[in-house]
Structure 1
Amino acid sequence: MKKDNQPIIMFDGICNVCNHWVQFVIKRDPKGIFKFLSLQSDLACSLITDHNLNNKQLDSIILIDKDQIYTESTAILHIINKLTGPIRFFVLFWVIPEKIRDKVYRFIAKNRYRFFGKKKVVSFLVKKYKIGLLKRKQKVGKPMNRSTFLKKLRMTIITTFRWSLALTFLIYGIAKIYPGQFSTGDFIYDSTKDSAMQLAWHFFGYSDTYNLFIAFGEITAALLLVIPKTATLGNIIYLPITVNITILDFCFEIPARSVTTLLTCMSIALLFFEYKKLKRVFFDWPVAAETSLPTNLIKKKVNVQ
């Protein structure tokens, strides 16, 4: 097969969430960097043979870029890094260990049909182009005015921050439950050899109940942040947790302190975006309506029998 330097995204053509992901990428790839290929197409079979892909890799989004093969969460992050717009904020997830990222990805991939459903036939995206490689149509629209641009920018920032915060806590919350984030077992601390981080990790790993309590708080805040109507409540729960984690990271010299500092700043920024709403809830007391009787009332005589 003739080699092509253009990155190719291979996806499950009957998977609903995979097809939504493809459409999501196409909208944020105006230069047409990527080509897309369904795993059910004949062309995909040739690429699978050429690159010796195994069954485990085929149960994932696959990115082929300059003869390099990327799968699972790493493929997603490489794709996001080439897109345009605020979605690129999600490349910050590189700081999360690959094992943790991939465990969450595998859980979603394994249950993708159960959670999101599947198509009876290969997506129209593939049927439309017989060879399986998708093209794009550039949309020409009217230039938006400044007010509309600022509103869209504000909503984009809020949505990006919400999802970044939610996904980070969701990943770490699940990791605390399985396979476990902290160290367990007997530990004798030696200040001349052991780091402060080791001490903190054994402290948090000592009690399973406390570990589950932290995980429950992080997952609850994450789920509330994902839902627009409960996002403000989720962020109110989120902020004290991430502030506490940030202080611990600095005090115990945990390398993730740069990430937790960023998460704290994003959480605070979301509160500022919701300032008017929070002000109405916590500071503005409802004003009692003043009613006054008209002075020119008509007097009527009432006969009581």
Structure 2
Amino acid sequence: MLEHSSLEIQNSIWKKFFTTLILGLEFSALLLLLGNGGNIPWFPPVLVFSLIGISLFGVLFFPLIWHLLEKKQKINSTKLYGILYSGIRYCIAFNIAAFGWKKFYGLQFIVPSEIANMPMNRQTGEWLTWFYFGYSHTFGIIIAMIQIAGGYLLLFRKTLLIGAIILFSLLLNLTLINIFYHMNAGALLQSILLTIGVLFLIALDYKKLLAFFLKTKSNLPTLNFKNEILKNILRVSAIILSLLFTIYLKSLVK
């Protein structure tokens, strides 16, 4: 009975819907990237958004058709999941790597001279952010290499999880920057969609992560305290004492 219930959950229509939805979102993000803000003559915005609409519209009906065919045993869900997961990984890898290559070829972090010469208090958060990140070309290249390498790692099952974790930490940071520094809507949407996609890939292996982070103990030697209360006091003291030290430093500021 338990095995049957587990199988129902595994093959539920909700799993099909969310998997298809993630692919639709990541494919839409890829189309937006290829559209390049309407600057490519052979791929105008009307075509970009038409394809996005078709892909998102398909998300609503494809899981239902899939579920129906599965019940009639006319479709191999395992192979189909493999195709969908591969599509998600490819879209994310292409998208994130493209942003990395743009940094190599000077297509990001470029601030026009008329903007750069303006006083800081007259510039938008977006231009200040681009000026800051563009100040160091080396730093931009490092970010680019992380993006390209992380995208490449997604394309192999053995390195999928580590690639997703690396990209998630990067993309979450970029998403927060895009939100709180008021970056343009396109950049924000891209970062959100990519973050969702990478988080989805991580969630597929959540059991491994829980086992690794919560059940695996460190092999580092440690102090042996018989008194648990004293041990916990010492742990908390690292946070409290650092706070008190900061308050003291604040008091020195005139």
With 191-200 and 255-264 compared, the bigger mean Cα shift is at: 191-200
Residue 258 of structure 1, aligned match among 189, 192, 200: 189
Measure, in 2, the Cα distance between the counterparts of 1:279 and 1:94. Answer: 34
Measure, in 1, the Cα distance between the counterparts of 2:102 and 2:134. Answer: 13
1:257-298 superposed Cα distances (whole Å, 9 cap, x missing partner): 122111111111111111123234334459xxxxxxxxxxxx
Residue 273 of structure 1, aligned match among 199, 204, 209: 204
| CA separation of 1:196 and 1:172: change in aligned 2, threshold 3 A | same
Q: Does 1:179 align with 2:106?
A: yes
With 239-248 and 184-193 compared, the bigger mean Cα shift is at: 184-193
| CA separation of 1:175 and 1:205: change in aligned 2, threshold 3 A | same
Aligned to 2:29: 92
How far 1:163 sits from its partner (Å)? 1.4
User: Are the counterparts in 2 of residues 182 and 204 from structure 1 also a CA contact under 8 Å?
Assistant: yes
1:168-217 superposed Cα distances (whole Å, 9 cap, x missing partner): 11100011001331115862443664321111111111111111111111
Question: Mind listing any 5+ residue stretches in structure 1 that lack a counterpart?
Answer: 1-85, 104-142, 287-305
Alignment RMSD: 3.4
Measure, in 1, the Cα distance between the counterparts of 2:129 and 2:175. Answer: 13
Aligned to 2:146: 217
| CA separation of 1:102 and 1:165: change in aligned 2, threshold 3 A | farther
1:134-193 superposed Cα distances (whole Å, 9 cap, x missing partner): xxxxxxxxx545897554454344222211221111100011001331115862443664
User: Are the counterparts in 2 of residues 184 and 202 from structure 1 also a CA contact under 8 Å?
Assistant: yes
User: Are the counterparts in 2 of residues 200 and 252 from structure 1 also a CA contact under 8 Å?
Assistant: yes
Q: Give SS of 1:167's match.
A: helix
Question: Mind listing any 5+ residue stretches in structure 2 that lack a counterpart?
Answer: 1-22, 41-68, 218-254
Larger radius of gyration: 1
Structure number with the higher strand fraction is: 1
User: Are the counterparts in 2 of residues 87 and 160 from structure 1 also a CA contact under 8 Å?
Assistant: no
User: Are the counterparts in 2 of residues 184 and 206 from structure 1 also a CA contact under 8 Å?
Assistant: no
Measure, in 2, the Cα distance between the counterparts of 1:102 and 1:167. Answer: 19
| CA separation of 1:95 and 1:209: change in aligned 2, threshold 3 A | same
Measure, in 2, the Cα distance between the counterparts of 1:96 and 1:251. Answer: 22
User: Are the counterparts in 2 of residues 100 and 175 from structure 1 also a CA contact under 8 Å?
Assistant: no
User: Are the counterparts in 2 of residues 176 and 211 from structure 1 also a CA contact under 8 Å?
Assistant: yes
User: Are the counterparts in 1 of residues 111 and 127 from structure 2 also a CA contact under 8 Å?
Assistant: no
1:41-85 superposed Cα distances (whole Å, 9 cap, x missing partner): xxxxxxxxxxxxxxxxxxxxxxxxxxxxxxxxxxxxxxxxxxxxx
What is the 5 A alignment of 1:1-305? 86=23, 89-96=26-33, 98=35, 144-145=70-71, 150-183=77-110, 187-190=116-119, 193-255=122-184, 256-285=187-216
Percent identity between matched residues is 24
Measure, in 1, the Cα distance between the counterparts of 2:72 and 2:206. Answer: 22
How far 1:242 sits from its partner (Å)? 0.3
Structure number with the higher helix fraction is: 2
Aligned length: 163
* Amino acid aligned to 2:85: I
Q: Give SS of 2:108's match.
A: coil
Q: Which structure ranks higher in relative contact order (CA pairs < 8 Å, sequence separation ≥ 6)?
A: 2
* Amino acid aligned to 2:88: F
TM-score normalised over the length of structure 2: 0.54
Measure, in 1, the Cα distance between the counterparts of 2:38 and 2:100. Answer: 12
| CA separation of 1:146 and 1:222: change in aligned 2, threshold 3 A | farther
TM-score normalised over the length of structure 1: 0.46
Measure, in 1, the Cα distance between the counterparts of 2:33 and 2:149. Answer: 20
